[in-house]
Structures are given as C-alpha cells and as structure tokens.
Amino acid sequence: MSMLLENNIETDNYPTLLRMGHRYRFCLGQRLPVDGFYGPLDVSLGQDEWLYVLNRWENVNGVPRNRYVTVTLDDEYGDFIFPQVDGEMEPRGKEKFPSPVMCAIDSNGILYSTDEHANSVLMLSTSGETVGWWGEKGTEPGYLNAPSGITIDSDENLWIVNCQNHKVQCFTRQGEYLQGWGEFGNEPHQLNFPWGITIDPLNQTFLIADWNNNLVKRFTKEGELLQVIGTPGTGVGQLNKPSSVAVDQHGDIYIVDRGNDRVLIFNHRGMFLESLIGDGTMTDKGVQKLLTNPDALRLRDNVVDFDREKRFASPTSVKVDDEGRVYIVDTGRWRIQVYEKLWRILEPDEIDAPELHADPEVY
C-alpha cells in the first residue's frame, strides 16, 4: 500500500497504458576481470550505444578495483576506463578512489561516480581520460558523507544522495553547491540512510530509495514530500532495503528491492504492478568459457536446481531507456539482466467511462 498526497502531483502528463508486462531478453557479462564484470554495481547508458558498467572489487591480476567496463548490447567489450592520479594508474592498496557506488553520464560523455570512502565525485571521460574530482567529507551543506546515488537534471546539475548525512544535495558539474534538503528519521518526510535517486521525466520530481526506512519517497525539487511508495516487508509489493529507483517514459517506477532479491514495478500512483525475480541465461561467451573447463562441467553435471542460477542475487541498480528496455545490475551474479517492457498507449476513445467499468474476476 502506498501513501499518495494526490493534490500535490500533476497527473495529466501520464499516459494511459495497456500494459502487457515485461519480457526477459538477455544477459550481459560474466565473472571475468577481462571481457566480463567483477563486482558490478551500476551502469550508465551512453548516447553512443555503449553501456558503462561501474565495477568495484579487490584487485585481480592487476585490474584496478575502481573501473568501468564498456560493453554493447551484443555483449562485445571495449577498453576499461579507470581513474589515473598524476597520469598513473592508482597503486594497488593505496587507491585514492577505492569505493565507487553509483554513476551517471552527462550529454558530453563525462561519467560521474560517487565514492563513499573518499567522499568525492570522480569524473572520467568515455575515452578514458580522468577529467577531475571534487568533494570533501563533512556534515555542512556542500560537504559529502558517504555519497551514493547520483542523477543529472535537465540543467545538467548533479543531485547526490548523502547516505550518512541523510540528505539530498545539488551541485554543478564542477562541484559548486547549489541547494539541498533532508533530515534523519522514520517519519514520512524523513530519510534513513537513503541510497538511490532518480528524476521522473514527466514532472521533474525526485524519487529516493530510502534504504533503512524500506520505502521509496517522491519529493519536489525543494524537498516537499509528495508520495510514499511501498511498505516495509517481504510480501507482495513490499520493500526490504531498496537500493535504486528508475522511472520510465510513462512514469512507471522500477525499484531494486535488494533485500528481497527482486525488482518491483509500480505505476505513478504508487500501485504495485509487477515483480521481476530474474530469468538469466548463460551468455554465449559464458558457454564457450565453460566448455574449456572440464572441472566446471563435471560440477554442473551434479546441479539439481538450475532455477537458482536464473534468479537475481543482491541486485543493486536499475536503469531504463526510451526503447522500453530495463537494465538490472545483478551484482551477486556478476551480470546485467535486460528486460523489455510491453505496452501500448491508449487513446481517449479506447477507454470506457468509469461508470461502464465492470470489476473483472481475478483468478
């Protein structure tokens, strides 16, 4: 059940849809430090049709723990993008940016990632250049304390969630503080270790994944509460440690319900629609790698439940594009699962008047 402060939300921009659910399409990635993912946490969708997958893991074979893996929808891989300090790759064990959390990309192809231990925002170009970084730890306006979720508004300003400050702050891309709001607590208008953030493209309101309150909350740009989505729990439509939220072109809301290993989908009114639990299948590259490993083949010959392999394991992030594709970063399975939304926008003359509606039987 969701609490909606209806008078505060403009609903005219939202279309009426014939929804037909979501269809699983394919997976990207496998557990490889090269030509794969190692600790994927978030993804940015580039205008150049590349995906930039933010990875965070201990150094493996000299690969930096903070890096982007570039991949196409055809599961073809490009070069790593990783931070350099003074023109050199960060020294192992002494990284300046050891703990990236989430990322966003601007119209110029600059990638921005938050780092919860460095309390900084790191800027990298999609060509691999370290553009710069900014941020300083603190609790006052304009300072960062375990920054996590990040998104970019229509003016190309950055909105950043400060997890341990329980605040949302807005900065220019160069790090100049503009505004912020939020306070700690368990009341509807308060935040408790928030994590993810996104902007509804239809009315420019902000949705926050309120991690420790087990809710998603909608606010205005000035921080006025408009809507509370979901209830805490493990049941249908309930949330347990939500980490990320996305809104598609129709206003439908996608929430990574990390503690329940699933993604929940709501409409703009906060009504629960659908749950995705994972349908992953092995990529062609994964099959080829497996065929060269006799020991792994023998182990798989004794597996009694392949169903678990399909399902999400600690998913972290969700992104959507204008083609109806939904990208879910399946962190515990070292991959991205891609779904496709099926819908048709209904014209006014296709919708009967409310008084003509009959309650359908639900089986």
Consecutive 10-residue runs of the chain (363 residues): their mean pLDDT?
A: 52 88 94 82 94 87 83 92 84 84 96 97 94 95 97 97 97 97 96 98 97 98 97 97 98 98 97 97 83 84 85 97 97 96 92 68 50
> In terms of pTM, does the model score above 0.85?
yes
CATH architecture of 3-349: 6 Propeller (2.120)
Neighbours of 63 (CB within 10 A): 18
Residue matched to tokens 């430090």: 33
Q: CA 100 to CA 234: how far, in whole Å?
A: 28
Token readout for 128 is 């691999």
On whether the CB atoms of residues 63 and 56 are closer than 8 A, the answer is no
| Greatest CA separation for the chain | 70
- pLDDT at residue 307 in the model: 87
> Which residues are CB-neighbours of 338 under 8 A, at least 6 positions away?
24, 25, 26, 27, 28, 73, 325, 326, 327, 328
Q: CA–CA separation, 333 vs 38, rounded Å?
A: 10
> Which two structure tokens, joined as six digits, stand for 46?
């580039």
Domain extents for the chain? 3-349
